[in-house]
Structure formats: structure tokens, C-alpha cells
Amino acid sequence: MVVVSTPDVPAEVSHDPWTDQNSGMAGSPQDRSSAQRSGDIDRNGSGRETARDLCAYVDASPSPYHAVAETARRLISAGFTEVDLDAPVPPPGRHFLRSGGALIAWVDDEQPANVPLRIVGAHTDSPNLRVKPRPDRGDHGFQRVGVEVYGGVLLNSWLDRELGLSGRVVVRDGGALAGRTVLVRDDRPLARIPQLAVHLDPGVNEKGLVLDPQDDLAPVTGLGDQDSGAFQRSMATLAGVDVDDVLAWDIMFHDVAPSCLTGPDEEFVSAPRLDDLLSCHAGTEALIEAAEGKGPCLPVLALFDHEEVGSETATGAAGPLLHRTLRRHLGLSDRPLEGSLVLSVDGAHGTHPSRGHRHDPEHPVRLNGGPVLKANARARYATDAPGVALVRLAAERAGVPLQTFVSRNDMPCGSTIGPITAARTGLRTVDLGVAQLAMHSAREFCGSRDPAALHGLLSELLSS
Ligand SMILES: [Zn+2]
């Protein structure tokens, strides 16, 4: 029988990387020394308050457009004002601009031109299933919705879940030449992708599940023949317009089950889109915190779309949005390179309980072991030694433990927005993030203390 601790009362932990420097949970001597100063790491006691706020942020953000809307809502309530992309440069203050699934925010307290930049970057998009332009299908008496696979989806994770829809619809706007964009979401359990029964797929447990993305992934929405126009009618209803006024859509499916803390001691977060909404959430809250103090740096938040498909878009990290904003609003060409820093924050791979050998043995990565610095000699991550030093010193000041990820030489290494941002801006960049399991699953998994630790580290870096 499992003894369940009372929620909000920190559980007794015998080998905890936050309190035990001999736990072996950290990746280097420096990691362990910072773990020793763990008394004030957890800014909210157990970290659960931050983790629950993260769950609320994720649930408010089923699409990149909703993530931007939720971030904007939080910034506005903290005194930020929105700047139109083409508006004249506003007087100094707390500002943000947005374009589709991307948002750039900054705090300009009239600091002199020699004040360095501190930029937190993350991405709003996650791998998922996106609705095709003509999606209405009829297959063997079922009505289904045709989808495209967006990013590196773990396909099996989308089976046998209740799915809702979200995204944006562009509708006719009177006689205007451009349409009007409407954010839409429907959290009802609208659709499901039923897996083939084991009896009809003999050997599936021995061979592994193989899914055909064209035929196996179209969610079922009802019974009957193909009904061309059914999806457009549903979009019209969601957008509150006549069906003929629906011009186009960017719509995707999401798991409708709410995010939650799991485990008898609530040590984990179970949620969709932790990669990379966890980082977007921490960056947003850290910027809001940095806006309250007048630090020696100019803090910036950059949330990009399309990381999961290569970033080469107008609102991706390879696009002009950040560079244009830095030049137009923050005098990039006059800012010092020395001391300026980009924190490219994205999910890190935690060591899996049954596949530990997929990690480099000298670099284990634990859930609730603190933020993870990511290194790669071939610059798949932008991290370099001077950048690591800046982050380590900040982590020491904040009392946050750090871990380090580096790939095995016989395993491929992923990448993220760090190298792209470094190349576009010319600023020193460090890749880091929170450890998670099940990356790119429809439902991901991380420690419940790590989001607060990341928030603390980013707040220190933006404020000092
Ligand atoms: Zn990511």
C-alpha cells in the first residue's frame, strides 16, 4: 500500500538532488556544488504552485496562437502594452508585439545604449495532427477528418484519446481585402483514433506498432458517408459566421484531458505540449518578474513558432521577427556583445527508467534534478564555455542545481532554436531546458519541481 502525503505538505525525500549532494544525480562537480545550496531553490516550497500554474498555461494553449494569446493576457495584466508590428516606435516601457504564433516582449527602462541584452527564447508549437484543407473523409461507414503530421510526432501516442480542435479561422470581413482572424477551440471530445484490435494485428506486440500516417491517423468524428463541407460548417459555427464566410483555417487536434500533477507525492507533471510550453511559461513569468526591478540588463522574451518543422518561416526563429525587433526597438547595433546573452530554452531528455543506456553514462539527467545545460560539439546546441560560466554563476546566486546533457556518440543529437538565434543575432547563446520523458508524445511527463527552478534561474539571468 502506498502512503500518500497530504497535498501541499512537502513529502519526506531521502535521496533528493535538491538537498543531497551525494545523490549522484548531477552531471559534474560543479553541478553537485550548486546542488548543495538548495535551501532557497524552491521558490514556492514544493514547486507545486508553479507547476499548477504551468498546467493552467498549457491547458489555455492548445495551439501556438492560443499560447501567444495566453502569454499576451498575462503580460497585459502585468502592465505591458501591445505594439502593432508596423506602428511607430513607442516611448520606453513594457511592450510586446505578436505575429501569428510568435511573440516578442521587452522591458525598456530607458537604460543607456551600453546595457547588454538578456533574451529568453522558446517555441510555442508542438508536434501534433493538423487538419487538411479538404478534410472530410468517409471510410467504411465512418466519417473522418484528414490530417497532416506536424513535426516529429510519436504517432502511437495519439491513439485512443479523446481529441478536441483548436487554432485560427480566417473569415470574410465585409468588403475588406484581408480577412479577419478568429481564434477558435472546442474542448468537447469530438474525435478519436481507434487502434486496430490485437486480434486483427497479430504479432503487434512482438514486431512493434507500425502506423501508416495517411490511413491510420484520420480521427473518427461520426458515422455515415463522406460529408463534404461538414468541417467547414463546424468552423463557421465555432467562429460565429456564415459558412460561406469561412475563407481558410489553421486547425489542429489536441488531447482534451486536463494537465495534472501525478504520483502519490505529486512529484510529476503530466501534460501535453510541455515541449516547449513549459519554457514559454517560465520565460513569461521571469520577464514579468524582471520588469519589477531595474536590473543591469535589458530583458527580452522571444517566443517562436514552427520550431518543430525547422524554424524557416516568418514567425520561426530563422525568420526576421526577433532581429527586426531588436534593431527597431532596442538599438541592437549599439548593444555590447560582451554580457549579452540568449537563453534558448527547450525541453531536455531525462534519463528513461528502462532505457538508461540511451544516455551518456557520465551525464545522467534526472527529473526534479534542476535545469539542464545542453552541449554538442557540432553546434547542434549553441552552448559554449563562457556561456555556461554565466549560467552557472547565475544558478549559484539563485541556489538552483544544474545538470548537463550531451548525446552518446552513437546516438543522433536533436537541435533547437539556439544555433539559429545565435547565427541570426550574433549574440552568445546557451541551450538549456527542463528534463522530461516522452518528448513529442501527445502527453509528456516532467518533474513538478523543475518548472519553479527554471523560473528562478531565468529570473536571475534576466535581472542580473
Ligand atoms: Zn522543443
Question: What pLDDT is stored for residue 90 in this prediction?
Answer: 92
367 part of a folded domain: yes
Ligand 1 centre to CA of 279 (Å) is 9
CB of 458 closer than 8 Å to CB of 343: yes
Does residue 17 belong to any structural domain of this protein? no
Co-location of 280 and 419 in the same domain: yes
Paired residues of 173 in beta bridges: none
CA atoms of 313 and 319, how far apart (whole Å): 5
Q: Are residues 403 and 316 in the same domain?
A: yes
pLDDT at 228: 95
Q: How far is the CA of 383 from the centre of ligand 1 (A)?
A: 16
- Digitized pLDDT (tens) for each residue of the chain, 464 residues in all: 333 333 333 333 333 333 333 233 333 333 433 333 233 344 546 899 999 999 999 999 999 999 999 999 999 999 999 999 988 999 999 999 999 999 999 999 888 888 999 999 999 999 999 999 999 999 999 999 999 999 999 999 999 999 999 999 999 998 888 999 999 999 999 999 999 999 999 999 999 999 999 999 999 999 999 999 999 999 999 999 999 999 999 999 999 999 999 999 999 999 999 999 999 999 999 999 999 987 889 999 999 999 999 999 999 999 999 999 999 998 888 888 888 999 999 999 999 999 988 988 999 999 999 999 998 888 889 899 999 999 999 999 999 999 999 989 888 887 888 888 888 888 999 999 999 999 999 999 999 999 999 999 999 999 98
Q: Which three cell numbers stand for residue 22?
A: 551525494
Distance 123 CA to ligand 1 centre (A): 7
Residue 8 pLDDT: 33
- Residue after which a domain boundary falls, among 214, 230, 255: 255
Residues 356 and 459 in one domain: yes
Question: 78 CA distance to ligand 1 centroid (A)?
Answer: 26
- Contact in structure between 30 and 445 (CB atoms under 8 Å): no
Q: How far apart are CA 220 and CA 165, in angstroms?
A: 13
Instruction: Give φ, ψ of 391 to 5 degrees.
Output: -70, -40
101 phi/psi in degrees, rounded to 5: -95, 20
Cell digits of residue 200: 486483427
Task: Tell me, in angstroms, the distance from the centre of ligand 1 to residue 58's CA.
Answer: 14
Looking from the CA of 188 toward its CB, the CA atoms found within 13 Å total: 6
Q: Closest by alpha carbon to 283, among 305, 295, 269, 301?
A: 301
pLDDT, one tens digit per residue, over 404-430 is 999 898 888 878 888 888 888 889 999
CA distance 59 to 56: 5
Same domain assignment for residues 346 and 432 = yes
- The answer on 220 and 151 residing in a single domain is yes
Residue 68 Cα to ligand 1 midpoint, Å, equals: 16
Peptide bond into 276 cis (omega under 30): yes
Examine the domain organization and report whether 276 and 233 are in the same domain.
Answer: no
CA of 346 relative to ligand 1 center, distance in Å: 5
Q: How far is the CA of 416 from the centre of ligand 1 (A)?
A: 6
Are 450 and 387 within one domain? yes
Angle at 255 between CA 252 and CA 261, to 5 degrees: 140
Residue with cell 487538419: 131
Q: Ligand 1 center to residue 292 CA distance, Å?
A: 29
pLDDT for the residue 378:
86
Expressed in angstroms and rounded, the spacing between residue 142 Cα and the centre of ligand 1 is 35
| Of 115, 102, 125, 113, nearest in space to 320 by CA | 102
CA distance 275 to 127: 9
How far is CA 78 from its chain centroid? 21
Separation of CA 268 and ligand 1 centre (Å): 19
Mutual orientation of helices 385-398 and 29-36 as an angle, nearest 10°?
Answer: 20
Task: Give domain status of residue 20, yes or no.
Answer: no
Cα-to-centroid distance, 256 and ligand 1 (Å): 21
User: Do 328 and 353 share a domain, yes or no?
Assistant: yes
Q: Are 218 and 159 in contact (CB under 8 A)?
A: no
Ligand 1 centroid–CA 203 distance in Å is 33
Q: Where are the alpha helices (DSSP H) in 203-331?
A: 204-207, 230-239, 274-292, 321-330
Question: Do 220 and 288 belong together in one domain?
Answer: no
The alpha carbon of 108 and the centre of ligand 1 are apart by a number of angstroms equal to 28
Q: What is the CA radius of gyration of the chain?
A: 23
Same domain, 148 and 70: no
Ligand 1 mean position, distance from CA 213 (Å): 22
Domains: count for the chain: 2
The number of beta carbons lying within 10 Å of the beta carbon of residue 355 is 9
Q: Are residues 117 and 201 in the same domain?
A: no
Q: Ligand 1 centroid to 318 CA: how many Å?
A: 15
What is the extent of the structural domain holding 195?
128-255
C-alpha 417 – ligand 1 centre gap (Å): 8
- Residue 18 maps to a domain: no
Ligand 1 mean position, distance from CA 232 (Å) = 31
Q: Which of 254, 321, 220 is nearest to 64 (CA)?
A: 254
Q: Is residue 22 part of a domain?
A: no
The percent helix, strand, coil of the chain (3-state, each to 5) is 30, 25, 45
Q: Whole-prediction pTM value?
A: 0.90
| pLDDT for the residue numbered 45 | 65
Instruction: Verify that 367 and 433 share a domain, yes or no.
Output: yes
CATH number at residue 227: 2.30.250.10
210: in domain: yes
**For the domain that residue 360 is a member of, what is the CATH number?**
3.40.630.10
Residue 331 grid coordinates: 538599438
Q: How far is the CA of 275 from the centre of ligand 1 (A)?
A: 5
**Whose CA is closest to 65, among 102, 101, 98?**
101
The answer to whether residue 19 sits within a structural domain is no
Please tell me the predicted confidence (pLDDT) of residue 135: 98
Boundary-marking domain end, from 255, 290, 309: 255
Q: How far is the CA of 364 from the centre of ligand 1 (A)?
A: 20
Output the pLDDT for position 413.
80
What grid cell was written down for 414? 536533436
Rounded distance from Cα 307 to ligand 1 centre (Å): 7
| Domain's final residue, options 205, 230, 255 | 255
Assess if residue 230 is contained within a domain: yes
Instruction: Find the helix or strand (DSSP H, E) in which 452 lies.
Output: helix 450-463
Q: Which residues surround ligand 1, an ion (CB under 5 A)?
A: 275-276, 346
Query: With the CA atoms of 265, 268, 271 and 273 taken in that order, what torsion angle do they form, in degrees rounded to the nearest 10?
Result: 160
Give the contacts of 123 (CB within 8 A, at least 6 positions apart): 276, 279, 280, 303, 304, 305, 306, 307, 308, 317, 346, 416, 417
Distance 294 CA to ligand 1 centre (A): 31
| β strands within 172-245, DSSP E | 180-191, 220-223
